[in-house]
Each structure stands twice: as structure tokens, then as C-alpha cells.
Structure 1
């Protein structure tokens, strides 16, 4: 039985829970509370030296040895006890955890079905990879909204291959979601060093990779729970309460994060709560645009010579005012060497247009340089004349292969490159040319060959999604303008009215992402 087979079986168990009023969006949260206990048991069965985190009396055989009402009462108390564990990591994973299962027979069915799965092949392939598959399956359920901005795995892996994180480097994601970037970096490093048992890996380095190498931050408690379990199942323990900390990188927690060698991130889209005031005292450009605030954190939190890749929407590349100031500061303090324009449809939210910015702190000659570090920016257009991606045409590694080849083997974008001209996808723009554009980085040159061919238009739902995404961005900019003009109360009233019309809360939570 392959991991994909097991993921399908796990996903089908949701049918058991429907009678208890649990939908797909709640299903993974319910399942993983049990699944983590089962997976730790499987790891201990496969490896006698495995160091358990769950205490005696709170392990899988303790669950399978009970049934009916006895099991239901035991399990509810177990979740409370684990949330109050003296082990800070276990306490963080099970903080405020509670089951929504009301019928003891449904819990019975869930436990028996989990216990009946053949886990041998899952242990061989890696329980962490199985868990990743379940998270991705959840993200593809667009009807639940669970994966609104889930970062596609092929994109994460391509970014990691370009930046090539190294043994002994500190790697950070200030918007960690389910920790996809951090885990991909760890997987890359382990592949280069024989699963951390290669000749270059000392005991001290091995411990560093397990405890100190990775730091993430996630605002949403339920998403952070998934991230902590995900990391632990991949052998990434972290210090104290785990690899991923609970809080906001745009608050005091972000200001206290240590500088990193590598930052990989896909920050949440939208507007920060609280209007247009300063997001963080140590960020010089006050903005309510979360992406601009995250971008400031990222390039300022790199060590001299450190490198980063960040996924950002189009508006960050062209927004005037504070946006222009942030881009200028970025190009002064960092070498922004590459921009990858991503195709639409690769995120589960329709119509989102995004880019990946690749940068290095300082310059090649002087990592501490903080003026005129960017001399040229290479732009790769993977958006024009590309298929309409979605469930019918999935986005995969083959679509990124040409970009990776053009990017080159040097993680800082210093490999020899060829400007492909107006008919090609990869072009170089000098800092002077960018200045002539008003320091806008929204650069495109390829004509879409199918732009006037109605038969080649994306599906109606994608066109509607694009229109809605553009409307949302226009409304966000209008809100920022009203806040700046001192009409915040009126703007909030209009947002509340709009939320009532759409059946939404006026101020939504940040969406966790991988």
C-alpha cells in the first residue's frame, strides 16, 4: 500500500464523521489529533531507539484498548491532559485541543479504521511524507476553503533547489503555515548529507539541525498545531515549544526573531488589522499592506550575505507611495537578482497573480553594503502563453524546469545567464531601466498569443476569480486611502456593510499556508 493509497483511505474516513456534523474543513483538525498518536506509535515500533514524546498512558495501545463510552470519556480527558503536559512541545501541539465527536460509536469507528490500515509501507516511505500528503489533499478541497493560498509543492521544491540551504545555516519562515518551506529545506539538506549521517555531519551539527536550524512563525493556532506535528514527524524538533512559534511576525514576536541565513516564505495576502498605522516600530515604512510589511521584515532580518525567496502578489511590484519606498530600500540594501512571474491558477484561490522574488543581503563584494546593491534584475516570465492551470491541468515540476536551468547553479543568481530578448522568457533589466519605470518591478514584455482567442479563454470560474481578486485589491487600496485621509470610521462602516452583503466577517483571520 503506497502513501497515496493511505491518504485516500484516511480522507475517506471523513464519511464516518459527517453524521456528527463535521465537514471537510474540520475533518483534518479532528483526524490529526488521533493521527499523531498513531504515527508516533508506528515510529516507535519501527525504531527501538526512537525517543517518544507522548507519556505512558497516552499512547496508541491505550486508545485501542478501550471502546464505546469508556473510550469517548478517556479520549476527551486525554486531550486535556496532553494540552497541560509538562513537555512544552506536546503541550503546544495539543493546546486547546478538543474533539467535536459527540457519538462514541463514531470515535470507535475512526480508531478501528486507523488501526486497520497497513502502515508498513508508510513507515518505509516516511510518516512525515504521508502527513504532508494529507495536508495537500485537504488543501485541494477548494469547497472548504482549506487551502486558499496553499503553496504548491513543485514551487516550494524548485525554490529550495535554487537557494540551496546548507548544513549549519539558520532557516526561517515568518509565515510558516503548515511548515512546507522549512520541511522542504530540511529534506534538501538531508538528501545532500546522507540523512545527516554523511562524513561532514558531526554530532554537534546533527543536533543543531534537529533543534536550532529552523524557525517559523504562524498566527493561527490550529495551523500551527499542524505545523508542529508536521515538523516532528520529519525529525525537526525545535527548541522549547517546537520549530514554529505562535504569534505574528508583524508584531513584537517578529521583532525578536534572530537574523537568518536563509528566509523562505509565502506571506498571507490582504490588509493588516488596525488600519494604516505602523505595523511594527522597527519597520521604517508604515503600511497596512501585509505583504509590504512582511517583505520589510524579510530583507531586514537576513544576516549580511543571507539570501531569501518570497512569494508576493503583483501589487507589491507596482504599488505607489509606500510600495515604491519599500522597493527602493530593498534594492539599496539587497541584491534583488531574480523575479519569477508565476502563472495564474497554480494557487487554489482563483485569479491570484503572484511572483517569487530572489534576493541576497548586501552585495557580492560587500555583504554589509546598504546602498545601490541591486545593479540589475533578471525577470523570468512564466505567466504569458502558459496553460490555464487548475485541477484539469495541474502545475508540476516540468513547468519549472526551464526556469531552474536559466536560474543556474549559483544560489545567489551569479551563474552565467543569457538575455533571451523580446521573444524569450528570461530578460535582464538594469537598475537605471527600472528607475525609468518609476521603480516598478511589474515588468512584462511577451504578448499573449491567445489574448484575443475566445476559445482559449480560461474557464468561467477562473475569469470570475480573477475579476474578484482585482476588485478586492481595488477595495483594499480604497480602504488604505480612506484611512490615510482620516475617514477610518466611515471606511469600517462600509466594510461591515460589504461583509454583511457577502455573509462574511468584517475582519477575517489570516489564512495559514504552507
Structure 2
């Protein structure tokens, strides 16, 4: 059974659990717990990592209420940071006040659960109330033939579940899910290389990190073409990320684990706080940061332009700029207001064009972030060796005008990006360009002087089409709702920018 068929089968089980009052997000979380236990068994990693009586076989063999009780106990045990495994693989809990000296000594000498287990199960609990529902879920997972064709297809299966969750919960853009076709495009264009530090400061469920690792493995025979020292770097030190939502971090860690990626440098935290500085410098940054109000200004002490900006997008872009090594490159998804906003937005654009070569802007079609609806772009830049005048020309590709309004009923595919990929060229630094297509084409070049004459406004469009004509073709309620939501969110971003420009109390200083 291939990964897509397994995804569909597991997803259909969600309808069973809906009777237990379980949401799609909670369902994927439950699957994360169960699939982790299953995979520890499949890969013979239970010994020394998981205590006896709390392994997959124990859960399968338990019956009825006893199964549910065991599952709850397992989650409670694994979710406690103070839980320990002793030499005999028996759970050792923190000693009570009345514990003997020998009990206390045994506890202090015991070793902790592996970090990954602690991170995935920290604070875990189950939403399942009916024992029969758990039995149905465990039976289905246990009976599926995961590896009949390819041992590593399980990682793709889990990514498929994350994608289904993003579609159903309508929480895709920025926080949980970036369309795989866009992730794979950006990775191909940026060409991550072994030996580079690759960072996603808003990791979500790990799409960019997994795709970058997969790209490098495919070109090095699963890293076997590298020296032992180079392999060690790739497996432990190359991938770095941060995620601010605990539940999403759980899914991220599971995704990395299933793709055999070490998560030592992936952590829970706010990138816009001083903890974000711990991500360090990077040779390549691939990210789709969250958009909209952040509920407060960044607490980072090294952000100069956006220190008083209380939305996500501008401070995240400044973080990426500051985190890049010399000649490091970045591809960042941003909403339209980053291209035109005055005040701090304009100052940030000037900073990028001075300190970096902002060589390409891709105007994305409407609707590819199905739930969000906000109009988005990808900005590509490389950190310069000097601090001034690094941008000479900016190339724009308009993949928005004249395109269908993508959504659940009209998904975007790799074929839609073929023209842009050809125009972008084969250099990840943007040094090989297709010819300017003029006013009737999608690919055009503007000089730094032309952009300065526009007051450094990068919201440049030359093709014309009434957006309402595109939206007249929408028929599905989901797509119509997404279009309305997109207009409302775009209006809110513009109101925030105007508030900042007028110096009124609000989103900005």
C-alpha cells in the first residue's frame, strides 16, 4: 500500500473519532503519539529508550478499558520531564519526602528518557474518551503494511497527514503548512549544499527543513559520498529551526525523526525574542514566517529597524537578514504589505537592498495559502560582503495576474511554476537570468534607480486584470470564503501600516 493510500485510510478514521469530540488537529496529535510508538517498535529502538510494559506490543495486546488506561498512563509517564529509566529499564519516579536514602540514590543515578521522547511527549494527554475508538485506531495502525515497498516512505506518509490537517483545519499559511509544491520549488532554486547551515526560524511542521535535507541526500547517495566528518555535520549540525507553538513543535519533531534528521538544533521558542539569537548564523534560510499582528513588539535586543513593530512579517525578515552569513542566501514568503509599507517597512527594504542583493521577487498567485487568502510573494536575496549598494537590479515575476484563483478545488502544481523556474536560471544567487519579457510578459527587470524613483516601493505590477473577474468564477463556498477573508486581511494590514505612518497608537510605534 503506497503512502497516499495509507494517508487516506488513516484520515477516514478521523470520522470515527469525531464522535469522541476530537478535532482534526487533536486527531493528528493522537496519531503522532501512536505512530511514534509504532515506529520505535518497527525500527527496534524501544530497548533503552522506552520502559517495558509501555511499548507498542503492550498497547496492542491490552484490551478494552485496560488499553485506554495503559495509553493514558504511557502519555502521562512520557510527558513528565522528571521521569527516569533505571538500569533494568523500569520507570523510576521522583522520590517522595519519605523515600529512603537508597531510593534517592537510585533516582539520582538513573538516566533520563531520551531528549526526543521527552520533547514529543512533554505535557501529553489523550483526547480519546471511548476505549473502542482507541482500539480501532491501534488496530488500523498495527495492521497496515508500512514498509512493503520502501522503508522510508513513512516520512512522506506523515507529511501527507500534516497536509490533510492543514486543508481541513484551514490553518495552513504561515503557522502550520506551506504547499509542498512551493517548498520543493524554493529548495530546487536555492540548491542547499552539504556543509551549509540551513535555517527555518518559523519551522512549522518542518516542510522546508525536510525538503532541504532530502535534496542533499539525493545528490550524495544518502550522504554516503561524504567523509565521516561531513556526514556527522549533516546529520547533527546542518539543520536548525525554531517553532513557537508547542503543539506544532511536537509535529515538527516527529516529522524530523521520521525523516532521520537530528533535532538537536530545533527548539521551542519565539524567534523574535533573545532566544531567537541562539539559532546562530546560516548559509541558507528558507521560511514562511507568520503574518499579521504579533500581540506585542519583539523582545530581541539586536533588531534595529523593526524593534517597535508589533506584527510578525517585518521583524522576521530583519531576523533573516541579520542571520545570514556573508554571501548567504534566503528565500522568504512575505505578504504584499512588506513590499509597499511606508515607515519601518520602507526602512527595512532599503536596508535589504543596501546590505544584500535583492535579486528576485516572485508574486505568488492568490489562494495557494488556502485558509489565509492573503496575497503573498517570495523575496530572494543574498547577503553582501559590504554594507551598501549591493542591489543593482531586481527581477520580478508576476505569477498572479491572469492566473486562476487557486484553492481546494483548483490546486496549484509544479507546472504552474515552470515559466518562473526557467526565467530564474540555474544559479541560486540569481546571477543567471532569462531575458526581460517586456510589458506584455511576466518577467521584468527594474534597476535600483527606477525603484528609488518609486520611493523604494517594490509593489510593482505591469500586467492588468480586474480581480473581480477572476473571482466571478468561484463556485465552492470554501473558495468564496477564502477570497472574502483575503480581502479583509489585506485591508487590516493596510490599516496597520496607515496607523504606523500617522503615529497613532496601534500596531506600530
Q: Which residue of 1 aligns with 2:234?
A: 209
Q: Which residue of 2 aligns with 1:421?
A: 438
| Among candidates 211, 214, 226, match of residue 187 of structure 1 | 214
Contact kept, 8 Å, 1:210 with 1:238, in 2: the verdict is no
Written as runs of structure 1 = structure 2, the 5 A alignment for 1:392-411 is 392-411=409-428
| Among candidates 90, 95, 120, match of residue 93 of structure 1 | 120
SS in 1 for 2:202: coil
Q: In the aligned structure 2, how far is the partner of 1:50 from the partner of 1:426?
A: 54
Q: Does 1:17 align with 2:39?
A: no
Q: In the aligned structure 2, how far is the partner of 1:486 from the partner of 1:355?
A: 27
SS in 2 for 1:168: coil
| Among candidates 154, 172, 187, match of residue 147 of structure 1 | 172
Q: In the aligned structure 1, how far is the partner of 2:476 from the partner of 2:145?
A: 42
C-alpha RMSD of the superposition: 2.3
Contact kept, 8 Å, 1:406 with 1:417, in 2: the verdict is yes
Contact kept, 8 Å, 1:154 with 1:397, in 2: the verdict is yes
Q: Which residue of 2 aligns with 1:446?
A: 463
Quote how far apart the aligned CAs of 1:465 are: 3.5
Q: In the aligned structure 2, how far is the partner of 1:164 from the partner of 1:271?
A: 32
Contact kept, 8 Å, 2:155 with 2:255, in 1: the verdict is yes
Relative to structure 1, the CA distance from residue 376 to residue 77 in structure 2 (aligned partners, 3 Å threshold; closer, same or farther) is same
Contact kept, 8 Å, 2:367 with 2:483, in 1: the verdict is no
Quote how far apart the aligned CAs of 1:176 are: 0.3
Structure 2 residues not aligned, in runs of 5+: 84-111
Q: Does 1:68 align with 2:64?
A: yes
Relative to structure 1, the CA distance from residue 21 to residue 452 in structure 2 (aligned partners, 3 Å threshold; closer, same or farther) is closer
Q: In the aligned structure 2, how far is the partner of 1:204 from the partner of 1:196?
A: 11
SS in 1 for 2:222: helix
Q: In the aligned structure 2, how far is the partner of 1:404 from the partner of 1:370?
A: 29
Written as runs of structure 1 = structure 2, the 5 A alignment for 1:73-472 is 73-83=69-79, 84=81, 86=112, 87-121=114-148, 123-141=150-168, 144-149=169-174, 150-198=177-225, 201-239=226-264, 243-274=265-296, 277=297, 279-285=299-305, 286=307, 287-349=309-371, 351-362=373-384, 368-448=385-465, 453=469, 457-459=473-475, 461=477, 462=479, 465-472=482-489
SS in 2 for 1:140: helix
Quote how far apart the aligned CAs of 1:469 are: 2.9
Q: Which residue of 1 aligns with 2:104?
A: none
SS in 1 for 2:159: helix
SS in 2 for 1:121: coil
SS in 2 for 1:310: strand
Q: In the aligned structure 2, how far is the partner of 1:360 from the partner of 1:57?
A: 53
SS in 2 for 1:127: helix
Q: In the aligned structure 2, how far is the partner of 1:454 from the partner of 1:72?
A: 51
| Cα deviation digits, residues 265-313 of structure 1 (max 9, x gap) | 0000111112xx4552210013112100000000110011100100000
Q: In the aligned structure 1, how far is the partner of 2:453 from the partner of 2:237?
A: 44
Moved more, 107-116 or 171-180: 107-116
Q: In the aligned structure 2, how far is the partner of 1:161 from the partner of 1:51?
A: 39
Relative to structure 1, the CA distance from residue 371 to residue 56 in structure 2 (aligned partners, 3 Å threshold; closer, same or farther) is farther
Number of aligned residue pairs: 471
Q: In the aligned structure 1, how far is the partner of 2:136 from the partner of 2:160?
A: 22
Contact kept, 8 Å, 1:3 with 1:122, in 2: the verdict is no
The normalised TM-score by structure 2 is 0.87
Relative to structure 1, the CA distance from residue 452 to residue 278 in structure 2 (aligned partners, 3 Å threshold; closer, same or farther) is closer
| Cα deviation digits, residues 386-440 of structure 1 (max 9, x gap) | 1221222210111111211111111101114311111111111000001011101
Q: In the aligned structure 2, how far is the partner of 1:414 from the partner of 1:107?
A: 55
Q: Which residue of 1 aligns with 2:92?
A: none
Q: In the aligned structure 1, how far is the partner of 2:214 from the partner of 2:498?
A: 44
Quote how far apart the aligned CAs of 1:13 are: 1.1
Structure 1 residues not aligned, in runs of 5+: 363-367, 493-514
| Cα deviation digits, residues 13-52 of structure 1 (max 9, x gap) | 11221221112232111221111111232233xxxx9998
Q: In the aligned structure 2, how far is the partner of 1:388 from the partner of 1:138?
A: 22
Relative to structure 1, the CA distance from residue 57 to residue 414 in structure 2 (aligned partners, 3 Å threshold; closer, same or farther) is farther
The normalised TM-score by structure 1 is 0.86
Moved more, 167-176 or 28-37: 28-37
Q: Does 1:4 align with 2:10?
A: no
Contact kept, 8 Å, 1:25 with 1:146, in 2: the verdict is no
| Cα deviation digits, residues 329-375 of structure 1 (max 9, x gap) | 0111100011111000111225321000111000xxxxx21101101
Q: In the aligned structure 2, how far is the partner of 1:456 from the partner of 1:16?
A: 37
